[in-house]
Amino acid sequence: MPFPATRLRRLRRTETLRRMVRETRLSVDDLIMPLFVCPGEKVRREIGSMPGNYQMSVDTLAEECRAIADLGIPAVILFGLPERKDEVGSEGYHDHGIVQRAIPEIKERAPGLCVITDVCLCEYTSHGHCGVIKSGDVDNDATVDLLVREALSHVRAGADVVAPSDMMDGRIKAIRDALDREGHTHIPIMAYAAKFCSGFYGPFREAAESAPQFGDRRSYQMDPANGDEALREVALDLEEGADIVMVKPALAYLDVIRRVKDRFGVPVAAYNVSGEFSMIKAAARLGWIDEARIVDEVLTSIRRAGADLILTYFAKDIARKISRES
């Protein structure tokens, strides 16, 4: 029925009515908080380009995880900063690596918290690339072997979910097979399936000290122009055994999130990445935007696009806001 019988403004008149017909809601259940763990004791070093985020030593991180769990946030994802970096990122897959040491401490202080680990080598390699370099490029198959070792060592240390973020071909199958062979058939894989080669990772590379020392990641991360290819990446990761697929970054790729959700109907995660976080923080500091309002709008848009889970540095802020309102 056209106007004047239909007046869509009728249901917008009061907050009560708006609340009743609201289609999308943020829930604390959907949030995953990224954390950076570094060597040392009692370390809590703020990341310049990511205000309110810290590189934390294992002890500080474990306390932080308890606070996160107390806010009702179900999961964290861990990124490790090693003591020493080398050509092959060996601290990434050693059983005494920083992430491997952090997991049991977290489990002790926050037993119910779901600990997801980022499986990649860029934080651990001296050249900052996500794998082993051969003839000036990342060698796919040699890298997959190391990623398998890294994932296994995380799971042996107690990780609940592993999340490979390297974008090597075939790594999901290799990791799934290795986990199953070792009896970890119950451990899910959250695949960074459609990970684009994005300028929005800038602040993260300061946080994780993982900027590539030469070249860029275009030979393994996806071209930002490609939506169809993102669906192929997701299809392959699902065939290889991914349980949750991720689109990353989120905001410039909302169309991809929607297509993935519509096409596959599987649990979809979206990574609201460091640059998306820092842009909001910076504009808010300049007084140009209302931070709380924008954060709510942005995260709601990611849910509306079809993401079930959101990895976001705003997780604690949103969790606090949700608990104030309920």
Residues that bind ligand PBG (CB under 6 A): 118, 120, 122, 130, 165, 201, 204-205, 273-274
Nearer to ligand PBG, 59 or 206 (CB): 206
* Buried-exposed string 253-290: b where 16+ CB fall within 10 A, e elsewhere: bbebbbbbbeeeebbbbbbbbbbbbbbbbeebeeeebe
Determine the residue with CB nearest ligand PBG. Answer: 204
Nearer to ligand PBG, 53 or 60 (CB): 53
Rounded Cα gap, residues 280 and 62, in angstroms:
27
- Distance of closest approach, residue 266 Cβ to ligand PBG, in angstroms: 21
Catalytic-role residue among 85, 107, 195, 261? 195
- Distance of closest approach, residue 33 Cβ to ligand PBG, in angstroms: 12
> Is residue 195 among the annotated active site residues?
yes
Rounded Cα gap, residues 96 and 178, in angstroms:
20
- Distance of closest approach, residue 118 Cβ to ligand PBG, in angstroms: 5
User: Angle at Cα 312 formed by Cα 74 and Cα 321, nearest 5°?
Assistant: 70
Nearer to ligand PBG, 204 or 253 (CB): 204
Q: Would you call 323 exposed, middle or buried from its count of C-beta atoms within 10 A (0-12, 13-18, 19+)?
A: exposed
Catalytic-role residue among 85, 107, 248, 281? 248
> Is residue 248 among the annotated active site residues?
yes
Reduced 3-state DSSP string for 91-146: HHCCCCCHHHHHHHHHHHHCCCCEEEEEECCCCCECCCCCCCEECCEECHHHHHHH
- Distance of closest approach, residue 8 Cβ to ligand PBG, in angstroms: 37
Nearer to ligand PBG, 188 or 275 (CB): 275
Nearer to ligand PBG, 91 or 118 (CB): 118
Evaluate whether 311 touches 77 at the Cβ level (below 8 Å). yes
Active site residues: 195, 248
